[in-house]
Amino acid sequence: MNIPAKVCLSDFEEYAKQHLSKPVWDYYSAGADECYTRDDNLQAYKRIRLRPRILRDVSVTDTQSTILGTEISFPVGIAPTAFHCLAWPEGELATAKATEVVNTCYITSTYSTCSVEEICAVAPNGYRWFQLYVYRDRKLSEQLVHRVEALGYKALVLTVDVPYTGKRRDDIRNQFKLPPHLKVKNFDGMFQDAAEPEEYGVPSCTLDPSISWKDIHWLQSLTRLPIIIKGILTKEDAELAVEHGVQGIIVSNHGGRQLDGGPATIDCLSEIVDTVQGRIEVYMDGGIRTGSDVLKALALGAKCVFIGRPAIWGLAYKGEDGVKEVLQILHEEFRLSMALSGCRNVAEINRNLIQVSKL
């Protein structure tokens, strides 16, 4: 059977919706409560207009950028998302191989269905960061930090917006859990004697709701790796992040999966960039679906953006090749949007390109 060519990210979304089981699709697509914030992550880009410049000689364009001093092919990476083996048998191994080929950053989730060791073995030259939670048993977090540092991961991404898991109604209705043949491989064998009920394959008591700014210093005492905080949405917390010596911020609302009614991430970006004033790098995730979305985020000050659900759709479509296709389409759309806006390289993208609509 001939499968029509995929020409944009929504084509991959439609394929995934048709081919994944309903509980798995619902898990990936879920937002918290009424999904207002999840949906606004997308709609917010439509309120932003571009102000293109013309006659700028865009016969040669360069999409290369750097994050934490490392060069990547274009300023789009893969955000941390859990359980890739639900979408494709190779799971995170396919994602890692695709991002290595494309030469961009892959943030590996703590809740991977492949271990960090397995991921490094199949893509030894990939540029990777590791997403971390803080657990009640701090030794769990500490062991993970030491493992990924020894494996050559280049940064830690501390997720700070999950003191408790948001209410995702479809997961509750579906009684979603990992099938027996899959495990959260980074914790393999650690919870066999746990008596507490599990949430997504990990005992629900493990996340520590008492996490606070003092834990940044604790984490810094464990590692020399740069620390990036994921989940900041306000200028006040951005300032505190700088004061606590982290190297980066990911402006994120967890794909709208945590607090419903919070702002779209693109709407928070400017105030955080203005607060940070270049002292640390600012990144963003949430709602990126086109190359012009990437351009808008960079014009508002993001150093790089990260995609979550679209990577899963690519996996569901064709594994490693599907993830590469998603990234390649986004790359070419970004290059075209740059050129049509009069930008020859990433350094020329700035806030003069942006007009916020009153729609």
Please report, for residues 144, 171, 262, the alpha-carbon distance to residue 140 in angstroms, rounded to integers and kept in the order given.
Answer: 6, 26, 30
Q: State residue 78's pLDDT score.
A: 98
The overall average pLDDT reported for the chain is: 94
b/e string for 177-191 if b means 16 or more Cβ within 10 A? ebeeebbbbbbeebb
Q: State residue 359's pLDDT score.
A: 46
Find the mean pLDDT for residues 207-233: 96
Range from 49-63, 102-116, 159-173, 183-197 carrying the lowest mean pLDDT: 183-197
Q: State residue 169's pLDDT score.
A: 97
- For 240, other C-beta atoms within 10 Å of its C-beta total 15
pTM: 0.95
Q: State residue 357's pLDDT score.
A: 60
CA distance 210 to 152: 30
Q: State residue 205's pLDDT score.
A: 54
Helices (H), the chain: 9-19, 22-29, 36-46, 92-102, 116-122, 138-151, 169-174, 214-222, 235-243, 265-276, 291-299, 309-340
Query: Which pLDDT band, with edges at 50, 70 and 90, does 108 fall under?
Result: very high
What sign has the CA pseudo-torsion 30, 33, 37, 40?
A: positive
Query: Which pLDDT band, with edges at 50, 70 and 90, does 3 fall under?
Result: confident
Query: Which pLDDT band, with edges at 50, 70 and 90, does 206 fall under?
Result: confident
Q: State residue 1's pLDDT score.
A: 58
CA distance 37 to 286: 10
Structural contact between residues 106 and 92, judged by C-beta atoms closer than 8 angstroms: no
Q: State residue 188's pLDDT score.
A: 82
pLDDT above 90 (res 13): yes
pLDDT above 50 (res 251): yes
Q: Nearest 10 degrees: CA dihedral of 166, 171, 173, 176?
A: -130
Please report, for residues 199, 284, 286, the alpha-carbon distance to residue 166 in angstroms, rounded to integers and kept in the order given.
Answer: 12, 20, 16
Q: State residue 358's pLDDT score.
A: 52
What's at 331, amino acid-wise?
Answer: H
Q: What is the residue-wise DSSP string for 200-237?
A: TTEETT-B-TT--THHHHHHHHH-SS-EEEEEE-SHHH
CA distance 155 to 131: 9
- pLDDT, one tens digit per residue, over 155-176 is 999 999 999 999 999 999 999 9
Whether 254 sits among the annotated catalytic residues: the reply is yes
Q: State residue 197's pLDDT score.
A: 46
**Domain range annotation of the chain:** 9-190+197-350
- Higher pLDDT among residues 294 and 135, named by residue: 294
pLDDT above 60 (res 194): no
| Range 9-190+197-350 has CATH code 3.20.20.70 | yes
Q: State residue 207's pLDDT score.
A: 87
Find the mean pLDDT for residues 335-348: 98
Q: Is 2 left (phi over 0), alpha (psi -120 to 50) or beta?
A: beta
What's at 82, amino acid-wise?
Answer: A
Q: Say whether 43 sits in a helix, a strand or coil.
A: helix
- pLDDT, one tens digit per residue, over 47-90 is 999 999 999 999 999 999 999 999 999 999 999 999 999 999 99
pLDDT above 50 (res 319): yes
Per annotation, catalytic residue among 146, 217, 244, 254? 254
CA distance 323 to 102: 10
